[in-house]
Structure 1
Amino acid sequence: MNLTFDLYELNTITILVRILLAVFIGGLIGMERGMKNHTAGLRTYILVCLGSTMVMMTNQYVTENIGGGDPTRLGAQVISGIGFLGAGTILVTNRNRVKGLTTAAGLWAAACIGLAIGIGFYEGAIAGGIAILLIMTLLRPLKKLIQGKSSKIDCYIIADSLDSFNHFLEFCADLRVNIIDMQIESEHVIESDYETDSNEIVYFVAIDLYNRIQKQDFILRVKNLKGINYFEELEGE
């Protein structure tokens, strides 16, 4: 009997192969997230990938043994339904910083890998799994490099008074950098050991440096401004 043909049929051996492959690929992706201490880690990715695999194998079983079914129907429900799980990993912090987008996208991608494995599309699943791992690991330093060379910066600033913040604005004007956007936050809770004062004001400021000053030099000089009690650059996903 042709071995290649057997691998694409639904039998005891292929069921075990698909389950093991789903656990392996889902686990590899989950390990990368888990090592970075993200909400969804090893077990979550394995379960998502394995569950999707089971859905497609069940769909294939129903189609082959009962007939009349659409072999893609259950898989389509997974594609749309996984969004609820992914949305649970996306957080908007008290600094208006969005976190968890990469994890949510990774869960959706892991579900797609599981669907490919479940239907016997091994080549696509393996190639897709490798691509996801490379994107999550190798492209992170590239993202930081691109972000570091960008002239735009999103800032989280705590000033002790309105006059101190006006002094910051004058500092920006002297450097001829552009304030793109500015928001004031009435309530603030700092995600650090910094103790806040009720008179302090929190600002979210988007600035374009126009490459007139190096980003790190700008940050250092702002931190040394009188009346600026806290400063942080906000990084995206």
Structure 2
Amino acid sequence: MEIHDLPGFTLPLLAAVLAGGLIGFEREWRGRAAGFRTHILVCLASALLMELAVMQGLWRFEPLSGTNIVTDPARLAHGVLTGIGFLCAGVIFRSGFSIHGLTTAASLWITAAIGLTFGAGMYGLGAVGTTLTVIILVGLRLVSARLPQTAVVDGTVTWRRDAPDAEAAVHAALTDCLRQPRADRHDLIDGGEAVRLGVRLQKATPDQIRALAARLRTIDGVVGYELDPRDD
């Protein structure tokens, strides 16, 4: 590669930086673990590696005499998308019964795909992919804000085993505040001195969650609770 070839190589990289920045800005604004810089680096690395793959004819190696080398840039693209899975796994975590970070992992994956697209020189397709991704992350968030505010809530309630009326009171509170709660698991903890109930609450509004928390605080024998709305 000569110095006069640099402008042609630079444009895909700059486009990748811009696309990664637009997507990463939304994640940074939402306070996610993988934000502005992470998305830029993912998109830039993908574009850089894809450029490297499509320009294998410029690599500094001498083929054996009489051989015919056939390149396949798609193989490197497959490798990038496989490798990005390890980075995506790092932003997915479990809190209690809830799984968080799936949207951020998906945004990293699509950012890598957009970077590969720019690296292959397909600017129009990359621009469309970037636009659609930003619309999905930002636009649909604004749409959901106008919808009734409900959430799936993963919760735990813990009460002393020697409080005979606590279990019935807990179930009554769950049923009164939120219809048809789903009990996922029962645990005997603290050496058998306490019982912990894991529940999943469907379509819970903020007012219902606050009312349930207030109700649980009044139950004699309840020593702890956790109500964790899902939010990617």
SS in 2 for 1:78: helix
Spell out the pairing of 1:26-37 with structure 2 (5 A cutoff). 26-37=20-31
**Structure 2 unaligned spans of 5+:** 64-68
Q: Quick one: percent identity of the two aligned structures?
A: 28
2: CA distance, partners of 1:37 / 1:187: 34
Given that 2:183 and 2:199 are in contact with CA atoms closer than 8 Å, whether structure 1 keeps it comes out as yes
Equivalent residue runs for 1:1-237 within 5 Å: 11-63=5-57, 67-93=69-95, 95-143=96-144, 148-149=149-150, 153-161=152-160, 163-173=165-175, 177-184=179-186, 201-207=195-201, 215-225=205-215, 226-227=218-219, 229-237=224-232
The AA in structure 2 aligned to 1:136 is: L
Counterpart AA for 1:148: Q
**Structure 1 residue 143, shift from structure 2 partner:** 4.0
Please name the residue that 1:194 is paired with.
none
Query: In the TM superposition, what is the alpha-carbon distance from 1:181 to its structure 2 partner?
Result: 3.0
C-alpha RMSD of matched pairs (Å): 3.1
**Structure number having the greater strand percentage:** 2
Q: Secondary structure at the match of 1:156?
A: strand
The CA distance in 2 between the partners of 1:62 and 1:132, in whole Å, is 30
Q: Per-residue CA shift, 1:180-225, capped at 9, x if unaligned?
A: 333235679xxxxxxxxx966543212457xxxx844533432232
Measure the CA separation in 1 of the matches of 2:101 and 2:189.
Answer: 23
Aligned residues: 212
Change in Cα spacing, 1:236 to 1:106, as seen in structure 2 (3 Å) is same
1-structure distance, mates of 2:178, 2:108: 43
The 8 Å contact of residues 150 and 206 in structure 2, kept in 1 or not, is answered as no
Relative to the length of structure 1, the TM-score reads 0.75
**CA deviation after TM superposition for structure 1 residue 155, in Å:** 3.9
1:2-36 deviation digits (Å, cap 9, x = unpaired): xxxxxxxx942221111111111111211221222
Distance 1:142 1:83 in 2: 29
Give the 3-state SS of the residue equivalent to 1:88 in structure 2.
Answer: helix
In structure 1, runs of 5+ residues without a counterpart are 1-9, 189-197
- The CA deviation at 1:60 is 0.9
CA contact (8 A) 1:48 1:110 kept: yes
TM-score (norm 2): 0.77
1:4 is matched with none
1:3 counterpart residue number: none
Task: Give distance in 2, aligned partners of 1:45 and 1:126.
Answer: 16
